[in-house]
Amino acid sequence: MQLAGRSHRRHLWWAAVVPAAVVFAACFPPPPPPPASPLFNAACEGDLQGSVQGQVESSALIETSGAAASRANTGVLWAHNDSGDTPRVFAMTTSGHHLAWFQLAGASAVDWEDMAIGPGPQNGQSYLYLADIGDNNHARASVVVYRVPEPAIDVQHPPADGQALTNVTALTLQYPDGPHDAEALAVDPANGDLVIVTKEVSGQAGVYVRAASAVTSILDRKDPIPLGPGTLVTGADASPDGTAVVLRTYTSVLVFPRAPSTPLDEAFRSGWCAGASAAEPQGEAIAITPDGRGYVTVSEGAKPPINHFAS
């Protein structure tokens, strides 16, 4: 009888609490799910279809190592060469027609490996970020990312080659755990934070962050990305709306979802879906399209095709 009484009291307690919980939930509904990333969803569903938009026309752009889709100039794709070139960046149409190349005043080029576009100190101004972060011999005490305002380009009347881009800022960066070779840079479109992903034979790609507000050159080390042995990251980009981040390797494209109001690097803590890719002999460059629904990839080599993937 005593056990039965205690059981009965527990039943009466839940009878009182459950309706109250229902009322509480009705007054305070759970937060809505994060907005879906169209690029991530298309990758997961296998809806990304590939096509060739054209080919790189410039005979001077023969080792395309980084690319970024312009935010200020409709139909313009930026790119740069790998090590061995001067500190310059090329503008072309999305079909590869050469528009102009620009020299970065006061910059140097040890081993430029990637580029990105994002915000910077001046509100409403987009900036080019050129990543001099290659270090095959793991010997550089520091690396540099150059930031410069993105110039306006009239596609119908492009400027002459060789014009100088001024107001260049050199962001000197140091890894907290010694030198690394890296070929991938992404910039948070919301706040300008820099995210570098290193190229590791182990497949444990390192993630290092430089906050836009940082006053130190020491990068912040984050959890590595377990990609599997031999998976070498050669490029990265963030979608303009910030809902997706892509990494490319020599043979694949990985698409990560990014939850709202979270640091860009936290996207790598979630799973990824494999996006469509093309067989490229030395695939290093990737750029998400301005609408955030697709991306282009370009290989090194003379006049390589510009591969476009979208749903």
Question: In this predicted model, what pLDDT tens digit does every residue of 73-90 receive, in sequence order?
Answer: 999 999 999 999 999 999
Residue 28 has pLDDT above 60, yes or no: no
Contact partners, residue 305, CB within 8 Å, separation at least 6: 52, 53, 54, 55, 278, 298, 299
Q: What is the pLDDT of residue 35?
A: 55
Q: What is the pLDDT of residues 244-261, one digit of tens each?
A: 999 999 999 999 999 999
Predicted confidence (pLDDT) at residue 17 exceeds the cutoff of 60: no
pLDDT at 9 over 90: no
- Position 288 scores a pLDDT of 98
What value does the mean pLDDT take over residues 112-141?
97
Span 59-69, mean pLDDT?
A: 97
Q: Quick check: 16 pLDDT over 90?
A: no
Range 67-74 average pLDDT:
96
How high is the pLDDT of residue 22?
37
pLDDT tens-digit readout, 168-195: 999 999 999 999 999 999 999 999 999 9
CATH-assigned architecture of domain 34-306 = 6 Propeller (2.120)
* Res 96: pLDDT: 98
pLDDT band at 4 (very low <50, low <70, confident <90, very high): very low
> Who's near 17: CB < 8 A, 6+ residues apart?
none
For the whole model, what pTM was predicted? Answer: 0.89
Domain ranges of the chain: 1-30, 34-306
Predicted confidence at residue 36, as pLDDT, reads 74
- Specify the range with the lowest mean pLDDT, choosing from 6-10, 236-240, 262-266: 6-10
Q: Which two tokens stand for residue 131?
A: 């990543």
Q: Encoding tokens for residue 123?
A: 């509100």
Mean pLDDT score across all residues of the chain? 90
Say how far apart CA 157 and CA 137 lie, in whole Å: 43
Mean pLDDT value of segment 197-223: 97
Cα–Cα distance, 146 to 169 (Å, whole number):
6
pLDDT at 230 over 60: yes
70 pLDDT higher than 80: yes
Q: Is the pLDDT of residue 14 over 90?
A: no
Give residue 19's pLDDT: 41
Torsions phi, psi of 78, nearest 5?
Answer: -95, 150
Give residue-wise pLDDT tens across range 261-301. Answer: 999 999 999 899 999 999 999 999 999 999 999 999 999 99
